[in-house]
Amino acid sequence: MITARGSNEAVKRLYFRGRLDAEALPELSEALSAVDLSRHKNIVLNLGGVTSISSTVIGLLFDFHKRAEQAQARVALEAAPQHIFSIFRAISLDQVIAISPA
């Protein structure tokens, strides 16, 4: 499940819950595609409610980060559960995208 809250002219915040896997991919892709990168220059993806994440979803997040960079916007991941944060660190995603653990 994905919800958007706390959006203003500069910041867009999306909250994710549950399993981020192939089943969630269409909803996730649609939510990220709907972000207006010309309006929102800071996008925060809150992963606090995520229980697991697939490599395909990680790839989608990375692609979204690249698209945001091209639009001169920034993406940050916040409240990543420790087991997911460990995956991000293992693949050095934390060297590319700002990530804060829960």
- For the chain, the structural domain boundaries read 2-101
Pick the CATH number of 2-101 from 3.30.1280.10, 3.30.750.24, 3.40.1350.10, 3.40.720.10: 3.30.750.24
Tell how far CA 101 is from the center of its chain.
13
The full 3-state SS of the chain, as one line of letters, equals: CEEEECCCCCEEEEEEEEEECCCCHHHHHHHHHCCCCCCCCEEEEEEEEEEEECHHHHHHHHHHHHHHHHCCCEEEEEEECHHHHHHHHHCCHHHCCEEEEC
Question: Is the distance from CB of 6 to CB of 17 less than 8 angstroms?
Answer: no
Q: How far apart are CA 94 and CA 77, in angstroms?
A: 9
Q: pTM of the full predicted structure?
A: 0.90
pLDDT in tens, 20-69: 999 999 999 999 999 999 989 999 999 999 999 999 999 999 999 999 99
pLDDT in tens, 85-94: 999 999 999 9
> Around Cβ 69, how many Cβ atoms within 10 Å?
14
